[in-house]
Amino acid sequence: MSYDRAITVFSPDGHLIQVEYALEAVKKGTTAVGVKGKDVLVLGVEKKSTAKLQDPRTVRKIVQIDDHICMTFAGLTADSRILINKARFECQSYKYYYEDPIGVEYITRYIAKTQQKYTQSVGVRPFGVSTLIVGYDSKGFPKLYQTDPSGNFSSWKASCIGRSEKPVKEFLEKNYVDEMDEEQTVRLTIQSLVEVVESGEKNIDIAIMRKNKPIEFLGRTRIAEIVKEFEEEKKRKEEED
Amino acid sequence: MDSLVGFVGKNYVLMAGDTNAGRSIMRLKDDFDKLVPIDSHKILAKSGEIGDGNQFCNLIIRNVSLYRIRNETELTTKSVAHYTRRQLATAIRKNPYSVNLLLGGYDKKDQKGSLYYLDYLGSSKKINYGAQGYAALFVGSILDRFWNEDLDFEDGLELMKKCLKEVEKRLIIGTRCFLIKMINSDGISVVEKVMINSEKKNEIEEEN
């Protein structure tokens, strides 16, 4: 009997092969980065280059789950839609019962729980999606969480998912500093993406989540400005060397 | 016992509700807000069973929010009215909500306010002016006489106070205190919390 076919069952060496294959699907998806600053959260995504005749505005990778929570994902877009819909519903459902806005960790647990359910149910396959969830907790601290197809979730200072996960994570580990202000956090996010995104700043989307404010998508011109500044700095360093 | 009054003005909607909440002969609360905001530009004024009103309004608010998050756009007042009516209509033959509502809203697209009358049986009608509860018996004629579609805000407020005065005068159950809210392009704002004092009380004092 082949242990990696159809439903998720254990292989002889204790692996859930389907889940691991799902992680492979995530590794094929476009990169998504999340960085936590002192009192700001920044999400950056690599946008898949759209075909000439395609309307680029319909491909949105950073989505709002509730007024105070945003998420992005890497992997199968259609699978992510299901998770996003469920999460959105759960947020309103929570508010319906408890009158309070949902907590970031709560909704992360919910999404992770959902992903795990699909690794232990009949006739379904795991979600081929890892997610990055950002929001502020009840005490007002910024939080960044990551979930993956196995149903694991964890909190991060900065994280990356998708195809350029390794180089971007290394970059973040080298350059991340605690308690960054908004400007520094945005720069770090853009810088980490620019290194790996193929066609440069046109294919990057940056979203800033400030406390008690709606999410703001950084404009094209601003991103281009910052990228230009990096390139000039790089040139200067090379000239000095 | 609830009194709700509402009408559409030039580019606003004015709504008022009494602030009494009671059970049989006892007044439980005299600062009860019956004008519930559904989103930034819509108010659902509820009358009837207090528990049903709370539950039903919560349901509508949450579903309107869900629509907004899912589709990144707000529903029009007409859509919310239709949705609310649908919920009432499906409930009436299973587990009825004993609530009668006035839904007022301002739509930025049309730059116009609108008012809807909804009742627990699942009827819905777009109206220019109207009332729920006992107030409906008294204010209908006043609004017939004095309402016109070009009422600016000051005249509208005066007309509303006229209506509320009549309710206070004629309704045997004491409802002196009313909350007036306005919806316009800037959103929802509390206009006034009015305490209406009947004139007759002054007359008796003078005699003595």
**pLDDT averages per 10-residue partition of chain A, 241 residues:** 63 90 95 96 89 78 94 95 96 94 96 95 91 93 96 96 94 94 94 82 90 91 89 87 77
pLDDT in the model for residue A240 = 86
pTM of the entire structure?
0.88
Show residues of chain A in contact with B58, CB under 8 Å: 96
Half-sphere exposure of B162 (CA within 13 A, CB side): 16
Q: How far is A94 from chain B (nearest CA, A)?
A: 10
Question: Chain A within 8 Å of B26 (Cβ-Cβ)?
Answer: no
Q: How high is the pLDDT of residue B181?
A: 96
For residues B121, B124, B130 and B135, what is the CA-based torsion angle, rounded to 10 degrees?
10
Picking from B59, B62, B69, the nearest residue to A64 by CB comes out as B69
Cα–Cα dist B178/B128, whole Å: 21
Alpha helices in chain B, H assignment, sequence order: 50-71, 77-92, 135-146, 153-170, 200-207
Rounded to whole angstroms, the Cα distance separating B99 from B53 reads 6
Cα gap B7→B149, rounded to integer Å: 9
CA distance B9 to A22: 58
The 3-state DSSP class for residue A226 equals helix
Instruction: List chain B pLDDT tens, one digit each, 208 residues.
Output: 789 999 999 999 999 999 989 888 888 888 999 999 999 999 999 999 999 999 999 999 999 999 999 998 999 999 999 999 999 999 999 999 999 999 999 999 999 999 999 999 999 999 999 999 999 999 999 999 999 999 999 999 999 999 999 999 898 877 779 999 999 999 999 998 888 776 555 444 554 4
Interface contact flag, B66 A88, Cβ < 8 Å: yes
Q: Does B69 contact A at CB distance below 8 Å?
A: yes
Shortest distance between the Cα of A222 and any Cα of chain B, in A, equals 24
Q: How many CB atoms lie within 10 A of CB A224?
A: 14
**What's residue B199's pLDDT?**
58
pLDDT in tens, A18-58: 999 999 999 999 999 999 999 999 999 998 877 888 887 76
User: Mapping DSSP to helix (H, G, I), strand (E, B) and coil, where does residue A152 land?
Assistant: coil
Q: Is A66 exposed, middle or buried (0-12, 13-18, 19+ CB in 10 A)?
A: buried
Query: Residue B46's beta-bridge partner residues?
Result: B101
Using CA atoms, how far apart are residues B91 and B121, in angstroms rounded to an integer?
9
State pLDDT tens for residues A166-196.
999 999 999 999 999 999 999 999 999 988 8
Query: Quick one: pLDDT at residue A54?
Result: 83
The answer to whether the Cβ–Cβ distance between A92 and B66 falls below 8 Å is: yes
A6 CA to chain B: closest CA distance, Å? 32
Would you call A95 and B63 a contact, using CB atoms and an 8 Å cutoff?
A: no
B70 and A66: CB-CB below 8 Å?
no
Using an 8 Å CB-CB cutoff, list chain A residues near B63: 92
Q: What is the pLDDT of residue B208?
A: 47
Helix axis angle for A77-98 and A104-117, nearest 10°, is: 130
Measured CA to CA, the distance from residue B153 to residue B163 in angstroms comes to: 15
Please give the single-letter amino acid code of residue B49.
E
Considering only CA atoms, which of A26, A14, A101 is closest in space to residue A64?
Answer: A101
